[in-house]
Amino acid sequence: MATEFLVKQGYIIRETNWKLNHLEIDIIAQEKGNRLHIVEVKTRSNDKNFDPLDAIDKKKIAHLIAAANAYVMTTGLDYDVQFDIIIIVGNTPDEFRLDYIPDAFYPPLKSYRR
């Protein structure tokens, strides 16, 4: 459902369930031009007491950043990278709802002290 949504929006799906060692990315999509979308997909049976922002914690963000870096390094692509989230909520295919959160987070900047 998530890949179908992205394709309908004009994205090219480069990879699904990409893995390298312990790193994994649900969907790697590409917009026209040189922008990669690293898409984390979360599914829930219902949306009671569920905030989509709770789907990604600091540990998951660090994991996605490391995975995106590994993907770019192994493919040699010189593209901008954007991190998106797709939330799919529902119990049956007839009632699924998809929420797309583009630019869901930005990689934290590291500061170096001298």
Give the DSSP per-residue string, 26-52: EEEEEETTTEEEEEEEEEES--TT--G
According to the model, what pLDDT value does residue 66 have? 94
CATH fold group of domain 2-105: Trna Endonuclease; Chain: A, domain 1 (3.40.1350)
Question: In the structure, what pLDDT confidence band is assigned to residue 90 with cuts at 50, 70 and 90?
Answer: confident
**Domain range list for the chain:** 2-105
Higher pLDDT, residue 52 or 13: 13
Whether the model clears a pTM of 0.85, i.e. scores above it, the answer is yes
- What residues contact residue 98 under an 8 Å CB cut-off, 6+ apart? 1, 2, 5, 86, 87, 88
Q: Say if residue 100's pLDDT is above 80.
A: yes
Give per-residue pLDDT as tens, 40-69: 998 887 756 666 567 688 889 999 999 999
